[in-house]
Structure 1
Amino acid sequence: MAASFWTQANALLRKNLIFQKRNRKTSIRIIVYPIILCVLLVLIQSLINNELHKSKYKCGCTCVDKNGNGSCETVCGIQYSTLDQVDSCSVPSPFEWPVLLQVPRPEYRAVQNSFDTFAGLPEKSCRDSESCPATVLFTGGNESLANSLAANLFTNVASSNLSDYLSAFSELIPGTDTVSGDTQFIDPAFIYGRPIYTNQPQCISNSNREFSFKIDTVTMQEDLECVRGLPLWRRSSSDVNDELFKGYRKGNAEMMINEVMSAYDFLETDDRNFHVNVWYNSTYQNTSVWDTTPGLLRVLRSINIVSNAYLQFLKGSGVKVLFEFTKEMPKIATQLSFDFSSLLGPLFFKWVIELLLPVILTYLVYEKQHKLKIMMKMHGLEDGAYWAISYAYFLLLSTAYVVFFMVFGSLIGLKFFKLNDYSIQFVFYFTYVNLQIVLAFLATTFFSDVKTAEAIAYIYIFGTGFVGGYLLPSFIQDTSFPKNWLIVMELLPAFSLYRGLYELSQYSFSGDYMGTHGMQWTDLSDHLNGMKDVLIIIVAEWLILLPFAYYIDRTASRGNISMKGLFSVLQRFLTKKSISTQRSESGKVFIEMEKPDVIREREVVEHSLLESRTSHAVICDNLKKVYSGKDGNKDKFAVKGVSIALQSGECFGLLGPNGAGKTSLINMMIGLVKPTSGNTFVQGLNIQTEKDKVYSSMGVCPQNDMLWEMLTGREHLMFYGRLKNLKGEALMQAVAESLRSVNLFHGGIADKFVGKYSGGMKRRLSVAISLIGDPKVVYMDEPSTGLDPASRNNLWNVVKQAKQNRAIILTTHSMEEAEVLCDRLGIIVDGSLQCIGNPKELKARFGGYYVLTMATSTNEEHEVEVLVNKLSPNAKKIYHVSGTQKFELPKQEVRIADVFLAVKDAKSKFSVQAWALSDTTMEDVFIKVAKEAGSI
């Protein structure tokens, strides 16, 4: 009776848990890795916090005599702080700052050069006197209208009263060449000592002035310089784009060629429609590799001046929209902090999560490389049970791993875990580890070596980490980068993992900086938040790849990855045929050359297939295997139409020289290799379409031992016994009897790791595995290889006892073993069955002669030949070297007594050094059949 799904699942789960227990060192290393990483981040964070908590980073304070009585009262605020201290100060009433235009520095403003010939640019000599104008490019569909609008961009303003500098600057169009900050609490343009520019069509000699302004109670002085705004017409937006690109700041100021202040494309603007594109220089943002918070862009004033230009075009020069100031929201006092874990989280934590991929992959590839999965399937383990338990086992380990990672990270205080909603983190990690497990199953199909799989997995993990860390943040922050292309990149699971971690890190970084929480479920509705898209991609890929990986795994285990497998399940329901109608219609090649005993065996097979219920345990029906030729070589016929019928209680020996096709025939009989034509039936079941049912009543002892080195001999037998539906006391008794039968029970051998077994001990264990559970059909491929004589004889007794109620198919190169164990023998040469019968029949048919061996001196060889010819006129010399000759004497022509008398007489006539007379052995039969087949 076949084991149920739950019985198979129980067996596999127990085996996996034992294997996990034995590999606890690996498990500890996997767990220690994120612990070390998190602790390292905490230590670095502590060092950073200790530095940031020093007084030079705390809000500046001073002593102020508020009452005028000489008493000192400590007052803190931005006005008493250095640039390193202002971020920690409270700002209950933020300052109002003029809206500035971003102006290029004098030495980088666009000029003529020898490389480019852009029209209207000033001579390069103006850079020496720092008098170069700030260029503004413009284009549009209506050139005359565009020129009118460009003329209104910069207008001369009468000398303004700078005591009210905010009001004055709203008309003067102020600008700066400093880098912007990431807040408006302090504008760097008024702190760093660079001048404030006023942008006008022409600068007069007395246009440079000074103005003063107050920050709280502190009065500050600032230089005000005029810069000429130079609007230049270009024919098209592509020309503008080309000129802007060539003036782009390429990493540092020295590599800047010609920097343009701004550019406008008026498109289809007319007196009823205002439509304009604005170009601006984004390299002035205060961003760096270590600071992922985008700086503010000075775009507002650019939009304001072009809007005013259009209003003046419509309503006259007196109409303007005055833009006086901008200001931040109020801010409480904060402790300056820098969340290092959130900054490095996307890369480091990606490596932590993906560390499970090579672990799962190597486990699966190990079973594939050592053919352990095939061995389990041949002993009754179905694909459904294997997948269900393996998947659940890896999912349990992965879930425990990520939960431990989250909990530990939170306990030691990493803001990445503490600030973001735990349920979002768990859902994200849980969905990804599901996808990661499916990827491991899918990748296993394409690897056959553990070291290669592990190396490729680590290259994938670290390679995608560095590529993702280099590309994705810039693409995400660039609002002009198409969102659809981001989604395409995130189809690669490693990039989707990085994107999700990046979003979590951004929210935790901002939450720590602003003193708020991190990502919440409501944040997923934000169109700038990519977590929702990532979750959809991960779940969709998981649901799509899961059935695909299952199909690939099943078809690969059959050795046939093709589209035909998609229809195999449907075909089973549509083609319910009897054994007789399933028989291959492949013709009968080589039948005219077959021997009578082989033809009789084929007739037995044909007759059995026509019966509704056959008494044969195994039927091989005209099995053929052809390997297609490559690179111009011919097709290779490995097996040429072999037909065999085996009764229950029979041990059938399959003999043949190396390369004769024995392994290919056995692999087709047990379903490992799909035949080119023909079929095999076990207990009336088709091995091709009913493999799972066949395997539940089959045992296999492979040529190479397929064993887990970290399991004991007893644990192997317990596992395979459960697969054969043995339970409780019956299981324990069967295991003990199997161990005793192969001499592995005593001396603690049964409870030693198989990795410490000798070759002979492993061989005996493989035989015990093939026989446990009382299988009805057993395949043994050279079971006694590597055994000492005593162990071999004991093994023969085990096989003799086992064949009483089952069919055994055995391959061997030991003729002695074949004679002792096999009821019938078949010799296969060059893919064809040459003869079949019991050992006595074969020796009688192919060995109807005695072998006479005689050694003399070389000059007496002729006398020996004369002697032999007198004994048997049809004698045949089969061996001759240096006086030693060997002859075959037909039994019907000679008597043994006559041979003895003739040799006695010969000794009196010439010197006989040695002689022997022997009957035919199976070895002689084997050699003769192989030679005859080879000559044919």
Structure 2
Amino acid sequence: MNGGNGRSRDSHGPATFFTQADALLRKNLTFQKHNMRTNCGLIAFPIYLCIIILTIQVLINNELDKPKNKCGCQCIDANGDGTCENVCGIQYSSLDQVGTCPIPSPPTWPALLQVPGPKYRASRTDSNSLADLPDSSCKETGNCPVTILYTGGNKTLATSLAGNLVTNAFPASTSDSLTLLSEVLPGTDTMPEQSNYLEPAFFSGHPLYIVRPQCASNFNLPVSFQIASYTVQQKVECVQGLHLWRNSSSVVNNELFKGYRKGNSAKEINEILAAFDFLDSDQNKFNLNVWYNSTYNNDTGFSSIPLVRLPRSLNMASNAYLQYLRGAGVKMLIDFVKEMPKPPTKIRLDFSSILGPLFFTWVVQLLLPVILTYIVYEKQKNLRIMMKMHGLGDGPYWVISYAYFLTISLVYMICFVIFGSVIGLKFFTLNSYGIQFVFYFIYINLQISFAFLVATIFSNAKTATVAAYKYVFGSGLLGAYLLQFFVEDTSFPRGWVLVMEIIPGFSLFRGLYELAQYSSTGYYMGTEGMRWKNLNDDDNGMMAVLIIMLIEWIIFLPLAYYLDQVASFGSGIRKHPLFFLQSIRKKRSLSFNRPSLQRQGSNVFVDMEKPDVSREREAVEQLLMESSTSHSIICDNLKKVYPGRDGNPPKFAVRGLSLALPRGECFGMLGPNGAGKTTFINMMIGLMSPSSGHAYVEGLDIRTDMDKIYTSMGVCPQHDLLWETLSGREHLLFYGRLKNLKGATLKTNVEESLKSVNLYNGGVGDKQAGKYSGGMKRRLSVAISLIGDPQVVYMDEPSTGLDPASRNNLWSVVKRAKRDRAIILTTHSMEEAEVLCDRLGIFVDGCFQCLGNAKELKARYGGSYIFTMTTSASEEKEVENLVSRLSPNVNKIYHLSGTQKFELPKQEVRIADVFQAVEIAKKKFTIQAWGLADTTLEDVFIDVARSAQAFNVLS
């Protein structure tokens, strides 16, 4: 059905994509301007956190830079002239200071075995009852041997080699204690450290061990050596080495781990010195696997540290093979192990790298609750659908909202990185800014897409906010205390780490963790941090994180849009799950075959309709068959049924409503609360879809063409849908732009709208809507519904809460507006209905009970006059006799202190007869006051509503 020859659209026409986008962008910028204090607080949080980190770092580094923590110095008279020169070095330092001294020639240390402590050495226990192990009682005396397991393909050869692993050979006496230790099998139960400048075995206070086949009871080998200006005395003990054959490598592996440090007492602890698998070794080849204890990493996270104990184990096996081939006198010496030279250093801590992964995860994700709350708030308050109802399409909304959040996020992150760099945090200054920009840019896009996706499942802003903050802090803590543990544990499968990083918070943490690792290493080593070439490092997870986040961004954004259309709360009627497969829809024609009255579930209802309601239904059916019409709104058998819940039957909110509304008419819907008026309005404005039936607005179907209908529609909802921080003028400017008003025309329309609803004088129009009274908000809502010259306007109780003067002024506005547009108005004010509405419909229990203008309804349903007379109490009987003579079917409806009211059926009484009877009565008794009134619209409403409700109860 086309628009016919009715009024054409104004010259401004529907707003284009860019006009809608411009309107939304301006509104968002205005919103941000009014929330400047909140924005400043948001930006200040990461700055405040960076300042705290810097302050802690400065205080601690200042403490570490004190002389007691620096390389020791002494004033030396090198020339003998009485003048001294300050000389610094290890020889002038305490053990606390040597770590900062330059070491051009690092000290040499003997290669040591990692010998189990006396209480950990393997013995027979409940979990390990092998007969060839010593009894656990040796742990009480501290004389347990250390066990060396061996296996191989050739047992004879393996046994021969194992016999040469530990020998009684001892070098000739030497004054160099460290050289002496290098020529035997020295060991320690002290854990190794990351740096080998000072071998902890010589400064821990624990004894050194020499592993021999047998130990003499009077073994005594004191060792002393010089380190800087200190002479260190070291006790050396002998420990017996016990080599035991096992049938296979799997048996060895099982025994190494069985009961290892899992018992509740020292007797249950089982620890092996080393294990050797000689594989297929023979006289022509030497193949070997060595087991060593990798748990001695001192909780530093450097898995290579235990390797400093491995050279001596390899040397043992190599010498055993050489002696097997060449005799006992042949051996390959391993002299010393030492570090590379080092320059002078400072003891310093970079807290931005230490705390950065956790704290910066919280900082970056702090935007997620802000974005999510904003999106859900607009849906919860129906502001999103309010914008759609005034012409804002999904395309402009998504483009501008996404660009808006992206701009805020970019400004936030740029301020964060710039400030962190300015104050000198190494986390920012050492790592490549290019990598940082790409990483943060991809993540904030992922975060925005994730917020849109998550917003589809929330309908309450407070719930969404709480959930978002729990996610932010929870993902940060789990990243620091779970993901980081798995990343640093090289035995944990890398595939599962990647699976965990699918969670956006974990991928953010992993990226920040990698940046922190490189900045920390660069800070301590005096090198640069992460560069693009480092993304190819085997242990660098940044590249995988970037790929994961990029893929998720590409997936999340279209998925969020899809769910917003088919499953989201507060964005209008949900579309079909396959809506994207539909081609561009053409404007549907309303040329239908004449509908049959025998519709599903409606035949009985139609038969019992009032004549005026039936005529309206027939008029609708006639209009549906016409090729064109001037009617703006046509509703055909519209129904809304809410499904039954908790054992209750289905609720019929609207029952087969049919209505035709031409341009220039204001139609009023009257009805008690719960009658279904607001449900009908909500179906017409796109807040809910009808259960059955059709409705057309300007020839467009509300089921399929709602987006097009919105461009020519205005709505004043029952509850004011306003932004609390925007002023009345800013609301009208926004909605005016959505209706394609521009330039001087826009300003003129806004000024006139404010004046028409009395929001112009005294600067009221520039006050924030949150500071308006209830009546002022209603007037602003009416002005919004009329701006831009919409062709169809819905007003749901527009004058609620208005004082009499404002109400009369509002009526004048609506009267002027209805001249060239169709208006549907719901109200509980009979006076308002009579003043504004060209036609009325009394709506009870989901259906019309009558239709017509006020006079017709009063004439049709107001079948009596109200006769009132006041006399003295003694003359009340005379009044009753007077009325009885006028009408035999009179009905007394009121009686109090001489005042009586009667209903006189119109068909039995003429008005002239009433006046004549009163004149005659005045001569017989005193009449203080009297009156004759026709039935009011309120009387009609009450009568019709009571009758309909009584009928529904009986039926």
User: What's the TM-score, normalizing by structure 1?
Assistant: 0.90
After TM superposition, list the pairs within 5 Å mapping 1:660-739 onto structure 2.
660-739=675-754
> Which one of the candidate residues 419, 434, 452 is aligned to 1:423?
434
What secondary structure is seen at the aligned counterpart in 2 of 1:172? coil
Partner of 2:824: 809
Give the C-alpha shift of residue 200 in structure 1: 3.5
| Cα distance change of structure 1 residues 305 and 481 upon mapping to structure 2, 3 Å threshold | farther
Q: Note if 1:483 corresponds to 2:494.
A: yes
After TM superposition, list the pairs within 5 Å mapping 1:244-259 onto structure 2.
244=257, 246-248=259-261, 258-259=269-270
Q: Note if 1:17 corresponds to 2:35.
A: no
| Cα distance change of structure 1 residues 153 and 822 upon mapping to structure 2, 3 Å threshold | farther
The residue type equivalent to 1:624 in the other structure is K
For residues 926 and 879 of structure 1, the distance between their equivalents in structure 2, rounded to whole angstroms, comes to 20
Give the C-alpha shift of residue 77 in structure 1: 3.5
After TM superposition, list the pairs within 5 Å mapping 1:374-389 onto structure 2.
374-389=385-400
For residues 245 and 854 of structure 1, the distance between their equivalents in structure 2, rounded to whole angstroms, comes to 111
After TM superposition, list the pairs within 5 Å mapping 1:646-657 onto structure 2.
646-657=661-672
For residues 856 and 154 of structure 1, the distance between their equivalents in structure 2, rounded to whole angstroms, comes to 134
The residue type equivalent to 2:687 in the other structure is L
For residues 420 and 448 of structure 2, the distance between their equivalents in structure 1, rounded to whole angstroms, comes to 23
1:442-464 CA-to-partner distances (Å, cap 9, x unmatched) read 23233333333322222222222
1:21-44 CA-to-partner distances (Å, cap 9, x unmatched) read 111111111122122211111111
The residue type equivalent to 2:443 in the other structure is Y
For residues 24 and 274 of structure 2, the distance between their equivalents in structure 1, rounded to whole angstroms, comes to 69
For residues 895 and 173 of structure 2, the distance between their equivalents in structure 1, rounded to whole angstroms, comes to 126
Contact (CA 8 Å) 1:153, 1:308: kept in 2 or not? no
| Cα distance change of structure 1 residues 158 and 255 upon mapping to structure 2, 3 Å threshold | closer
What secondary structure is seen at the aligned counterpart in 1 of 2:617? helix
> Which one of the candidate residues 95, 112, 126 is aligned to 2:107?
95
After TM superposition, list the pairs within 5 Å mapping 1:67-78 onto structure 2.
76-78=88-90
Contact (CA 8 Å) 1:421, 1:518: kept in 2 or not? yes
Give the C-alpha shift of residue 536 in structure 1: 1.1
The residue type equivalent to 1:51 in the other structure is E
Q: Note if 1:35 corresponds to 2:47.
A: yes
Give the C-alpha shift of residue 830 in structure 1: 1.4
Q: Note if 1:919 corresponds to 2:931.
A: no
After TM superposition, list the pairs within 5 Å mapping 1:249-288 onto structure 2.
258-261=269-272, 264=275, 276=289, 278=291, 280-282=293-295, 284-287=296-299
> Which one of the candidate residues 337, 340, 353 is aligned to 2:348?
337
> Which one of the candidate residues 127, 134, 152 is aligned to 2:146?
134
Give ranges in structure 2 of 5+ residues lacking alignment. Answer: 1-12
> Which one of the candidate residues 580, 601, 625 is aligned to 1:569?
580
| Cα distance change of structure 1 residues 254 and 93 upon mapping to structure 2, 3 Å threshold | farther
For residues 139 and 847 of structure 1, the distance between their equivalents in structure 2, rounded to whole angstroms, comes to 113
Partner of 1:587: 600
Give the C-alpha shift of residue 80 in structure 1: 4.2
> Which one of the candidate residues 189, 195, 198 is aligned to 1:186?
198
For residues 535 and 787 of structure 1, the distance between their equivalents in structure 2, rounded to whole angstroms, comes to 58
Give the C-alpha shift of residue 885 in structure 1: 7.8
Contact (CA 8 Å) 2:160, 2:324: kept in 1 or not? no
For residues 610 and 81 of structure 1, the distance between their equivalents in structure 2, rounded to whole angstroms, comes to 105
Deviates more, 1:375-384 or 1:82-91: 82-91
The residue type equivalent to 1:662 in the other structure is K
Give the C-alpha shift of residue 336 in structure 1: 2.3
1:826-872 CA-to-partner distances (Å, cap 9, x unmatched) read 22221122222222222222222224567999999999888766544
Deviates more, 1:101-110 or 1:370-379: 101-110
- Aligned length, in residue pairs: 930
Deviates more, 1:579-588 or 1:755-764: 579-588
Q: Note if 1:177 corresponds to 2:189.
A: yes
Deviates more, 1:537-546 or 1:776-785: 537-546
Deviates more, 1:756-765 or 1:596-605: 596-605
What secondary structure is seen at the aligned counterpart in 2 of 1:778? strand
After TM superposition, list the pairs within 5 Å mapping 1:745-824 onto structure 2.
745-824=760-839
Q: Note if 1:645 corresponds to 2:656.
A: no
Q: Note if 1:891 corresponds to 2:906.
A: yes
Partner of 2:460: 449
For residues 860 and 143 of structure 1, the distance between their equivalents in structure 2, rounded to whole angstroms, comes to 138
The residue type equivalent to 2:30 in the other structure is I
After TM superposition, list the pairs within 5 Å mapping 1:207-356 onto structure 2.
207-213=219-225, 215=227, 220-230=232-242, 244=257, 246-248=259-261, 258-261=269-272, 264=275, 276=289, 278=291, 280-282=293-295, 284-287=296-299, 296-298=306-308, 300-301=310-311, 304=314, 308=318, 311=321, 323-356=334-367
The residue type equivalent to 2:427 in the other structure is F
| Cα distance change of structure 1 residues 135 and 886 upon mapping to structure 2, 3 Å threshold | farther
Partner of 1:596: 611
1:597-635 CA-to-partner distances (Å, cap 9, x unmatched) read 222222222222233333211112222112122232222
For residues 573 and 218 of structure 2, the distance between their equivalents in structure 1, rounded to whole angstroms, comes to 85
1:175-233 CA-to-partner distances (Å, cap 9, x unmatched) read 21112111222211122232222234433324442334555787644332222344565
| Cα distance change of structure 1 residues 150 and 374 upon mapping to structure 2, 3 Å threshold | farther
Contact (CA 8 Å) 2:352, 2:426: kept in 1 or not? yes
For residues 44 and 337 of structure 2, the distance between their equivalents in structure 1, rounded to whole angstroms, comes to 51
| Cα distance change of structure 1 residues 798 and 562 upon mapping to structure 2, 3 Å threshold | closer
What secondary structure is seen at the aligned counterpart in 2 of 1:622? strand
What secondary structure is seen at the aligned counterpart in 1 of 2:95? coil
For residues 211 and 218 of structure 1, the distance between their equivalents in structure 2, rounded to whole angstroms, comes to 14
Give the C-alpha shift of residue 482 in structure 1: 0.9
| Cα distance change of structure 1 residues 243 and 696 upon mapping to structure 2, 3 Å threshold | same
| Cα distance change of structure 1 residues 710 and 561 upon mapping to structure 2, 3 Å threshold | closer
> Which one of the candidate residues 450, 462, 469 is aligned to 2:473?
462
1:79-126 CA-to-partner distances (Å, cap 9, x unmatched) read 543332232222223333332222232234445567886765544543
| Cα distance change of structure 1 residues 574 and 838 upon mapping to structure 2, 3 Å threshold | closer
> Which one of the candidate residues 811, 823, 828 is aligned to 2:843?
828
The residue type equivalent to 1:680 in the other structure is A
Q: Note if 1:411 corresponds to 2:426.
A: no
| Cα distance change of structure 1 residues 345 and 602 upon mapping to structure 2, 3 Å threshold | same
Contact (CA 8 Å) 2:353, 2:520: kept in 1 or not? yes
For residues 570 and 863 of structure 2, the distance between their equivalents in structure 1, rounded to whole angstroms, comes to 45
For residues 258 and 57 of structure 1, the distance between their equivalents in structure 2, rounded to whole angstroms, comes to 40
Deviates more, 1:926-935 or 1:801-810: 926-935
| Cα distance change of structure 1 residues 615 and 574 upon mapping to structure 2, 3 Å threshold | closer
Contact (CA 8 Å) 1:559, 1:674: kept in 2 or not? no
Give the C-alpha shift of residue 525 in structure 1: 0.5
The residue type equivalent to 1:300 in the other structure is L
For residues 797 and 909 of structure 1, the distance between their equivalents in structure 2, rounded to whole angstroms, comes to 49
Deviates more, 1:319-328 or 1:60-69: 60-69
> Which one of the candidate residues 56, 71, 81 is aligned to 1:44?
56
For residues 583 and 501 of structure 1, the distance between their equivalents in structure 2, rounded to whole angstroms, comes to 69
Give the C-alpha shift of residue 736 in structure 1: 0.8
Give the C-alpha shift of residue 668 in structure 1: 0.6
Partner of 1:659: 674
For residues 659 and 238 of structure 1, the distance between their equivalents in structure 2, rounded to whole angstroms, comes to 81
Contact (CA 8 Å) 2:168, 2:213: kept in 1 or not? no
Q: Which has the higher contact order (CA 8 A, sep 6+)?
A: 2
Give the C-alpha shift of residue 240 in structure 1: 5.8
For residues 308 and 665 of structure 1, the distance between their equivalents in structure 2, rounded to whole angstroms, comes to 93
Deviates more, 1:752-761 or 1:112-121: 112-121
Contact (CA 8 Å) 2:442, 2:550: kept in 1 or not? yes
For residues 633 and 875 of structure 1, the distance between their equivalents in structure 2, rounded to whole angstroms, comes to 44
1:401-432 CA-to-partner distances (Å, cap 9, x unmatched) read 11111111111111111111111111111111
Give the C-alpha shift of residue 807 in structure 1: 0.5
Give the C-alpha shift of residue 547 in structure 1: 0.8
What secondary structure is seen at the aligned counterpart in 2 of 1:704? coil
For residues 247 and 879 of structure 2, the distance between their equivalents in structure 1, rounded to whole angstroms, comes to 115
1:652-677 CA-to-partner distances (Å, cap 9, x unmatched) read 11121111111111111111101112
The residue type equivalent to 2:26 in the other structure is R
After TM superposition, list the pairs within 5 Å mapping 1:873-888 onto structure 2.
873-874=888-889, 888=903
